Structure 1
């Protein structure tokens, strides 16, 4: 088996080959490649499915090179040594908005940034000096006391994108701390059992917040709704709305939603977007299909954001209804959609959410799930590049920490419907690893 293992030279050759293929595509298709300068493009756009997979394989090879160049022990040591400081630095930069302290096309002194953030200058300098090793910001004169701070493309991307800032905040500031006590939660509640505990009050999140030092919340939704005081109360909920908008943007969820169903052939129907946040996808559907009337359902704190963002032209066809999806569904509709909702909950809670629809369901009503393709069964196709798998496994562990939930393979969604009620009949399942999403459609045969 030893001769089949990757070697430094073999990986280097593979990196050269994949890099050539990737850069050739970029050049031939006029796709600008990001650099580290502040005015660089912040992402690759319009990559073909084939070249997207080439890029992911290149990332796998680069990571293997990183591991083997250091060796097994040092690669672990170096990761452990920097992982938490890396995350803490980025979270602190984001929380105190270092991004706007430095002009995109200019520079700022450490004293300027300290004043902007209301932090001690020594603290600012130390945080930035670590961030600079990650190519987040740079110095105009590296190493000199008189050096000023300027943006790189990485810090510039955060300065330009409220969605990217919301993503960092949601993943690091909301979900990060509970993940660090996941080992203790597993020790207390799951060790010696055959399955992960399904009790929400036995999650890593619940354990972290049980002391009340950072607020005594039972689940992350309570945190989002209630954290903060005065005008700041609920700031995390508004941030989460922006995070979800950004996730939909980077995963091109608009296209997935538009292609998930024959909306035009559905006729004049009512669609309920359950947990639909500020209604971004509702507007997309309404814009393309004038036959649809759409009701967005979410918690009360979301309503002001919905009302502020809803274009006036759609007010006659898109409305907002405050609703807790664990409670009986109050609206009779033709189609109910759930986008990245059920993966946040353990199996029995996900089934309970679907079961709550039943009081409003009429025969032939449809339920469409849009879920992240977090895991892939052996029967679902060839192995994906590890860089794609890691997107799913990372989300899977985050869901374990927050909800005792999990990312599910495609077939598991069928089981969730059947656990909710046998009268749900699976009509179609569409799974595409290149879009990272699974679309499951069920029909109510009650």
Structure 2
């Protein structure tokens, strides 16, 4: 009799689960649970624990696929799950249920201003995803689980859901039409940002307006005082991203900021200035200028702490236009991966009018192609780790007709922008998905 794959997987899952649980215990780290008082995440785990956790995730997914069977595992795909989460998030069901109590379906319906039948059906599906649960012994009342409580407690996590599902979700479903219309029969993906799935989805104005790219959408969606509400959410999303990827450490370690002395640093596309504030507090000699779209300025002005206002300022700037500010160092964090290579080249070219010999450009990027350029003899990264990159890679295709790139590819992008750029350092960490590329302007 052939060996049971299910039993083999079960044994591997037991072994990996025991290893991860033991490591948590040895490091005095709490396990997550479905209880409302569960820790928000497994903070403090080591790189080895991370790989164990992701290997366990891979085995669990394989088990799910096998238990469901090929047909059912495809039939039971997650589109309704994503739609349910998006509705719960958009209408803020999270605040409609008290963290320390419960609420009835009718109370929730009143708080989110939706028909009770709609609320009931949305919540009933959410419960199957461990987003909320019915109170023991009283199925008419709803309370939080750890998953819904995390969203109630963290506005950044809400902003992440909004950015990933509400902004990119529908355009990703339009990828088939965009590829059919613009790329079928060609040897490579069209690089024109007017021919993205996002642009095609918004070309008929499903929300009353037409947008070519997501930046127009973020900046202009909404009317009156509500205009730009998506931009405010995106700023919150970027604030939260730095926690997920521990970006404060990445920014601090990206360059020897102390050795820079009394330098001026421009944070190009720096959102509401989170990184500039971080650097200003840690390195008192630095003068920092944040550049971003006009709609971000009020958020910057509201959030910039008084203790650094004399060294952190905001300048409205379109990164396609010639750089108006002379500085010593220009930092672009999580900017270029949103653009095709020709567009990324143009963004770097726009920096050159103000550059002087010895100026530096620091690019901090998410690297989705984590396996490219690695030693073939090494064990491959877990599928769940690779999926983090491939998921973002598909979002880049839908939104910008670009892709997540390996770190080394940025050497060619700098060279194409101007031969006077000299890339002097490329550091990449596949487990954090972050890379730092440092270029010096030679000016001759």
Whole-angstrom distance in 1 between the partners of 2:373 and 2:400: 28
Q: Return closer, same or farther for 1:106/1:67 CA change in 2, 3 Å cut-off.
A: same
> Which whole-Å deviations, capped at 9, do the CAs of 1:387-406 have from their partners, x for residues lacking one?
11111111111111111111
> Which whole-Å deviations, capped at 9, do the CAs of 1:369-413 have from their partners, x for residues lacking one?
111120035432332211111111111111111111110012211
**Residue 158 of structure 2: aligned partner:** 165
Task: Please report how far the alpha carbon of residue 309 of structure 1 lies from its aligned counterpart in structure 2 after TM superposition.
Answer: 0.6
**Residue 183 of structure 1: aligned partner:** 176
1:211-250 matched pairs, under 5 angstroms: 211-214=204-207, 215-250=209-244
| 3-state SS of paired residue (1:367) | strand
Q: Which residue, out of 9, 15, 18, partners 1:17?
A: 15
> Which whole-Å deviations, capped at 9, do the CAs of 1:318-351 have from their partners, x for residues lacking one?
1101000000001111111111100111110000
Contact 2:370-2:433 within 8 A present in 1 as well: no
The two structures have a TM-score, normalised by structure 1, of: 0.96
Task: Please report how far the alpha carbon of residue 258 of structure 1 lies from its aligned counterpart in structure 2 after TM superposition.
Answer: 0.5
Q: Which residue, out of 44, 63, 68, partners 1:65?
A: 63
Whole-angstrom distance in 2 between the partners of 1:389 and 1:368: 26
**Residue 283 of structure 1: aligned partner:** 277
**Residue 258 of structure 1: aligned partner:** 252
Count of aligned pairs: 438
Whole-angstrom distance in 1 between the partners of 2:338 and 2:364: 13
User: Stretches of 4+ moved more than 6 A in 1?
Assistant: none
Q: Which residue, out of 116, 121, 127, partners 2:122?
A: 127
Whole-angstrom distance in 1 between the partners of 2:222 and 2:89: 17
Contact 1:141-1:147 within 8 A present in 2 as well: no
Task: Please report how far the alpha carbon of residue 21 of structure 1 lies from its aligned counterpart in structure 2 after TM superposition.
Answer: 1.2
Q: 2:101 matched to 1:106?
A: yes
| 3-state SS of paired residue (1:211) | coil
The two structures have a TM-score, normalised by structure 2, of: 0.97
1:12-411 matched pairs, under 5 angstroms: 12-79=10-77, 83-141=78-136, 147-214=140-207, 215-381=209-375, 382=378, 383-411=380-408
Runs of 5+ consecutive residues of structure 2 not aligned to the other structure: none
| 3-state SS of paired residue (2:79) | helix
| 3-state SS of paired residue (1:352) | helix
Task: Please report how far the alpha carbon of residue 213 of structure 1 lies from its aligned counterpart in structure 2 after TM superposition.
Answer: 2.3
Whole-angstrom distance in 1 between the partners of 2:400 and 2:296: 21
Task: Please report how far the alpha carbon of residue 54 of structure 1 lies from its aligned counterpart in structure 2 after TM superposition.
Answer: 1.1
Runs of 5+ consecutive residues of structure 1 not aligned to the other structure: none
